[in-house]
Structure 1
Amino acid sequence: MKYKKIKIAALAIVTASLLGGILYSEFGTKKSYDYSDYYVESKANKTTKENKDNEEASEKELSLSLLKQANNDIVGILESDNRVIYEPIVQAPDNDYYVRKNINKEYANAGIPFVSADGNIDSKNVVIYGHSSKWNSIIFTPLMSYINQSYYKEHPTFKFITENETRTYQIFEVMNVDLNNLNDSLEFTQSSWDSDTSFNAFISDSINRGLYKTGISVNTDDKLMTLVTCDTRNDNKRIVILAKRTD
């Protein structure tokens, strides 16, 4: 069991370290791509002060079908509260491919968020990697705000939009993982577990190592999504957001 854990940790370091060293200079790229060509008009059921006639307000949203026309590796769109994060998500046969490529598969310093190659969007745990920066609010930089429990309380959920549905996820834990510490479990990079027992052990360990308690419970029937980005305070650490699907 100890050997297996070390092996998992070693593989996880290789994957997670792909995000290391991408602490952009102030001359770095803020976005990996300009997605303005992929927005379409959408009707949202909400009333604003300007909309005194109580009519449906119109806003723009990313079109998954248009994004997939540009790149068939697109598997969904990640949307956080107020669209602080609003990004298309890709998946490639290996985790190196999109580290520094954009939607057009051209070089981009900021890359594009990607689902870990050892799973898929229907896995028990969907792991998504994305870059962050010390200087620019690129891609997953807003995840750094979850270090503070007050931010979590204001933004406890996010959505993942696929071709067939919109999934809602509730964050149940925030971790700060040290890649150099093999005793710091890196099982969050797994897309599945061998048994309910091992899954429950992972959940228990994650909750114990969380930066704060959320009070959200997780059981063996839950499906997870894990968002991973570098800790801009320490290049050897990662911010890990663990969430469970609620619908």
Structure 2
Amino acid sequence: MCRHRGICRVIRGMNGILDYGLLLLLLLGLVYGCYALWDSQNLAEEATSEQYAIYKPQEDTLGFQELQSMNSDVIAWITVYDTPIDYPVVQGKDNWEYVNKNAEGEYSLTGAIFMDSESNPDFQDFNTILYGHNMVPNVMFGSIKEFKEQAFYEAHPYGNLFVQNRNFGLEIIALIEADAYDSSVFNINVTRNDTIPYLEVIRNHAVYMNDITLEADDRILLLSTCSSESTNGRDILVARITDQTYKDTYSAKDQEHTGHEAVDRRGGWRDFMPGWKATLFLLLLLLILICFADQWICRRRRKGRK
């Protein structure tokens, strides 16, 4: 028994403060975890291509024209078949404007798919570069990393580019890895006389590359996103722009006949679940810790009374 009751009261008081301080920290952690889970889900939903579906050029271009009336920086629409890449393309006054700004011109951490500010907006340069965030669950340009699997690369050879009220085909010709500061790759001043050396640069950086020969008037498109493997690393999907358009054989309409798992590649909850489960597991673990902490505090208080 403590002989100095005043000191004992102070000690018990300090212990109580520490106990409830610990409990408060755990509760704050739980609240923050719930907010982080909600925010991650919200951000993922903001980045999906479905939010722009009403603007996508179809048989008519009224929806696309409406988007352009909302934001005059909208210049094109890009689609890579059987991937979540199905977005409007914008071009800002510099390469920072649309890092945290969506295609409707509003602030958003998801950003937008944007063309290099120094490229020709009609895609008439030999090489044009588009940028987009690498986001989970494979939204924006997050699905480019899927092309590192050879089977996926070979199974997804085509896409579509809509620009100036016309559709062009996209033929995937390479997947490359490069440093963000590699000027030999991120060179937007390639002339027709430099096409062969530039193709050699692409070949030297290629994970996969088709055996192709470019004609004098061919144009290529580079889709660049951050690599998950290094800070300055970039994963870049390279496509040839063609006058010939290609049918989307992975569309929902064809799904019934082909049995191809197109829907599973479109993002949504199935792709979001791995990160969602991990966050939920941490929240449950934190909740269990709070329960144990509460029991521990109660036992300490009962023991203190004795």
Residue of structure 2 in register with 1:111 after alignment: 111
Give, as a single letter, the amino acid of the residue that structure 1 aligns with 2:131: Y
SS at the partner of 1:234?
coil
Query: Do the aligned residues in 1 keep the contact of 2:128 with 2:220 (CA within 8 Å)?
Result: yes
Query: Do the aligned residues in 2 keep the contact of 1:110 with 1:138 (CA within 8 Å)?
Result: no
- The TM-score normalised by the length of structure 2 is 0.59
Query: How far apart in 1 are the matches of 2:169 and 2:71?
Result: 24
Give, as a single letter, the amino acid of the residue that structure 1 aligns with 2:206: G
* Percentage of matched positions with identical amino acids: 23
Residue ranges of structure 1 left out of the alignment (5+ in a row): 1-24, 44-59
> Are positions 1:35 and 2:65 aligned together?
no
Query: How far apart in 2 are the matches of 1:218 and 1:148?
Result: 25
> Are positions 1:192 and 2:194 aligned together?
no
Query: How far apart in 2 are the matches of 1:244 and 1:167?
Result: 10
Query: How far apart in 1 are the matches of 2:62 and 2:83?
Result: 11
Give, as a single letter, the amino acid of the residue that structure 2 aligns with 1:35: Y
Query: Do the aligned residues in 1 keep the contact of 2:81 with 2:158 (CA within 8 Å)?
Result: yes
CA RMSD of aligned residues (A): 2.5
Query: How far apart in 2 are the matches of 1:39 and 1:219?
Result: 31
Query: Do the aligned residues in 2 keep the contact of 1:70 with 1:103 (CA within 8 Å)?
Result: no
Higher gyration radius (CA): 2
User: Taking CA–CA contacts closer than 8 Å with sequence separation of 6 or more, which of the two structures ends up with the larger relative contact order?
Assistant: 1
SS at the partner of 2:87?
strand
Residue ranges of structure 2 left out of the alignment (5+ in a row): 1-35, 244-306
- The TM-score normalised by the length of structure 1 is 0.72
Query: How far apart in 1 are the matches of 2:173 and 2:131?
Result: 18
SS at the partner of 2:124?
coil
Residue of structure 1 in register with 2:271 after alignment: none
Matched residue pairs, number? 200
SS at the partner of 1:63?
helix
Which moved further from structure 2: 201-210 or 186-195?
186-195
Deviation readout 1:149-172 (Å, 9 max, x if unpaired): 211111112111123210112121
Residue of structure 1 in register with 2:228 after alignment: 232
More helix by share: 2
Instruction: Return closer, same or farther for 1:206/1:36 CA change in 2, 3 Å cut-off.
Output: closer
More strand by share: 1
Instruction: Return closer, same or farther for 1:199/1:137 CA change in 2, 3 Å cut-off.
Output: same
Which moved further from structure 2: 62-71 or 226-235?
62-71
Alignment of 1:61-210 (within 5 A): 63-82=63-82, 84-120=84-120, 121-133=123-135, 135-179=136-180, 185-194=182-191, 196=193, 198-210=194-206
